[in-house]
Amino acid sequence: MSSGLDDLPLRDELRGESPYGAPQLDVAVQLNVNENPYPPSERVVAEIAAAAADAARTLNRYPDRDALALRADLAAYLTADGGVDLDVDQVWAANGSNEIMLQLLQAFGGPGRTAVSFAPTYSMYPEYARDTHTRWVAGRRADDFTLDLPHAHAVLEQHQPSVVLLASPNNPTGTALPLAEIEAIVDAAPGVVVVDEAYGEFRRAGVHSALSLLPDSPRLVVTRTMSKAFAFAGGRLGYLAASRAVVDAVRIVRLPYHLSAVSQAVARVALANADELLHAVDELRAERDRTVAWLRSVGLQAADSDANFVLFGTFPDRHAVWQGLLDRGILIRETGPDGWLRVSIGTAEEMAAFRRALEEVMG
Ligand SMILES: *Cc1c(COP(=O)(O)O)cnc(C)c1O
């Protein structure tokens, strides 16, 4: 007897869908999911192992449901990075900022409600909306990937979203939004405005974090992750900063004990070693700026980037270019508007290999 998805009472809107994710291929140079290329040092590895062992001694017990010690550490880190005082009850943590975002949609989206973003942007946003039965509306960005404010205002006016999602720096374009534009959206939006700063630590000098807007904006939420700059993608730790009321709302929908004792303990070690784990950020920013300049010098377009990746193109057949690079051992991402490709910033050697391979592919 055949038993496939068709025989199951799968929700109608999930029929024909496939799970999200870039190909996980075993390739020498992996520049496709915006990871930090540097693994932790043996010293940090040993501290993480010791903290995991410590947590293991009480694994018969449930972890701290409210992750208070970890949230206090995160609040201290954000206070230092963003220059605003944040209290532990203005910070919330979960298994990656993907879970944070889902919790936000669970709390503020739902049937009869609308979430809005401006494309091209992070391709997971429509999935959070779908999974929470929230109507999804994608406005558009301008040709240079900045926000088109008059258009954005029109979309907000027409759709009255309970949630607006703004990635800044944006994925896959790398574009950061000026604070004045975020303020304008917060003023115009009837609901919650989420600024996804997954790449916040990579912003260029003079580009500011939306954290500084929090004291005056009770409906603003800033999300961050340890997956990118922190070189902690495998640790699965994302977090948000917002008003106490937003944190209270998210706590209503979170699953009990969602963040394991091991996750909490290990993330605290990573935060205690922030200086070391973040040490490569300046180097990666410089390598990013060099990559943008090089791509332009060979006649390609490259979007200005405040993140650890660059969107470049355009190619009449981008898949052929992606495949040509893969054939040479370089895995990048086929994403973004037609004709564009995205490369994550790796080590200097990896970027040299990328440049050599791309020159070959372009003939
Ligand atoms: C990588 C990324 C995230 C982070 O995902 P995690 O679940 O924290 O690993 C969030 N938003 C954007 C735009 C991203 O690119």
Rounded Cα gap, residues 275 and 99, in angstroms: 26
Q: Is the distance from the beta carbon of residue 118 to the nearest atom of ligand 1 less than 6 Å? A: no
Q: What's 28's domain CATH number?
A: 3.90.1150.10
Q: Is the pLDDT of residue 25 over 80?
A: yes
- Structural domains in the chain (count): 2
Q: Is residue 212 part of a domain?
A: yes
Given a cut of 60, whether residue 50 has pLDDT beyond it is: yes
The answer on 170 and 28 residing in a single domain is: no
117 Cα–ligand 1 center, Å = 15
* C-beta of residue 95 within 8 angstroms of C-beta of residue 307: no
Please check whether residues 249 and 214 belong to one and the same domain.
yes
Which of 244, 276, 308 corresponds to the end of one domain?
276
Specify whether 199 is located in the same domain as 326.
no
Output the domain CATH number for residue 174. Answer: 3.40.640.10
- Does the structure show a pLDDT above 60 at 1? no
pLDDT of 234 strictly over 60: yes
pLDDT surpasses 80 at 3: no
Mutate to test the pocket of ligand 1, among 97, 125, 168 (most ligand atoms within 8 A of CB): 97
- Ligand 1 atom having least distance to the Cα of 121: 13
pLDDT for position 2: 54
Which residue, by CA, sits nearest to atom 10 of ligand 1? Answer: 198
Domain's final residue, options 225, 258, 276: 276
| Ligand 1 pocket: which of 98, 230, 258, 310 to mutate (most atoms within 8 A of CB) | 98
Domain of 290, in residue numbers? 22-38+280-362
Average pLDDT, the chain: 96
Whole-angstrom Cα distance, residue 79 to residue 86? Answer: 6
Both 295 and 245 in a single domain?
no
Query: What average pLDDT does this structure show over 79-101?
Result: 94
Ligand 1 touching residue 198 (CB < 6 A): yes
Nearest ligand 1 atom to the CA of 99 is: 7
- Pull the structure tokens for residue 232: 């902690």
Nearest-atom number in ligand 1 for the CA of 95 is 7
Could you tell which of 36, 99, 105, 124 is best to mutate to test the pocket of ligand 1, judged by most ligand atoms within 8 Å of the CB?
124
Per-residue pLDDT reduced to its tens digit, 115-153: 999 999 999 999 999 999 999 999 999 999 999 999 999
User: Span 60-69, mean pLDDT?
Assistant: 98
Q: pLDDT digits over 247-279, tens only?
A: 999 999 999 999 999 999 999 999 999 999 999
Residue nearest (by alpha carbon) to ligand 1 atom 11: 198
**What pLDDT is recorded for position 302?**
98
Which atom of ligand 1 is nearest the CA belonging to 33?
1
Among residues 83, 305, 122, the alpha carbon closest in space to that of 208 is found at: 83
The whole-number pLDDT of residue 129 equals 98
Tokens 């929230």 correspond to what residue?
Answer: 134
Probe ligand 1: pick from 168, 171, 223, max atoms within 8 Å of CB?
171
Question: Is a pLDDT exceeding 90 seen at residue 163?
Answer: yes
Q: In what order do the strands lie in the sheet with 238-241?
A: 91-94, 238-241, 220-225, 192-196, 163-167, 114-119, 135-140
Ligand 1 atom at minimal distance to the Cα of residue 97: 8
Amino acid at site 252: I
Which of 291, 353, 284, 330 has its CA nearest to residue 37?
Answer: 284
SS3 193: strand
**272 backbone dihedrals φ, ψ, rounded to 5°:** -65, -20
Instruction: Record the tokens describing residue 194, joined without a space.
Output: 């989420």
